[in-house]
């Protein structure tokens, strides 16, 4: 492999990634997706370590990634709204559960 980026001709780092244009970088969407990798503690680790309920964990998960996970065909703003709407849904479902109402 060349020591220089084939896209912008900048010297590649030790991992063969160009920090100028990002050539050679591949997101690990299973183990370290970009929208969670920015945290010191990944949301799932926090949720599991604290044994949080499903609804509470999802609120944390969607809140942490709101504005950072971009959904296919959506802008960053629309993607953020999608995750915020998911938070509202889980809050409403929990309120309904407390009130002994239909949770859906």
State whether 41 and 88 are in the same domain.
Answer: yes
State whether 90 and 54 are in the same domain.
Answer: yes
Give the pLDDT confidence of 44-63 residue by residue, as tens digits: 889 999 999 999 999 999 99
State whether 21 and 41 are in the same domain.
Answer: no
State whether 21 and 42 are in the same domain.
Answer: no
Asked if the structure places residue 52 within a domain, the reply is yes
Angle at 77 between CA 76 and CA 80, to 5 degrees: 85
State whether 38 and 14 are in the same domain.
Answer: no
State whether 38 and 12 are in the same domain.
Answer: no
Is the model's pTM score more than 0.85? no
Give the pLDDT confidence of 63-101 residue by residue, as tens digits: 999 998 888 899 999 999 999 999 999 999 999 999 999
> Which residue segment(s) compose the domain that 39 sits in?
34-98
State whether 11 and 54 are in the same domain.
Answer: no
Domain count, the chain: 2
């Amino acid at each position: 492999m060349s020591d220089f980026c084939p896209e912008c001709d900048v010297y590649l780092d030790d991992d063969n990634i160009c920090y100028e244009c990002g050539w050679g970088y591949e997101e690990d969407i299973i183990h370290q997706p970009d929208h969670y990798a920015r945290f010191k503690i990944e949301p799932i680790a926090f949720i599991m370590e604290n044994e949080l309920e499903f609804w509470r964990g999802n609120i944390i998960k969607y809140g942490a990634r709101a504005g950072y996970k971009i959904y296919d065909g959506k802008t960053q703003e629309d993607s953020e709204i999608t995750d915020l709407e998911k938070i509202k849904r889980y809050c409403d479902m929990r309120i309904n559960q407390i009130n002994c109402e239909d949770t859906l």
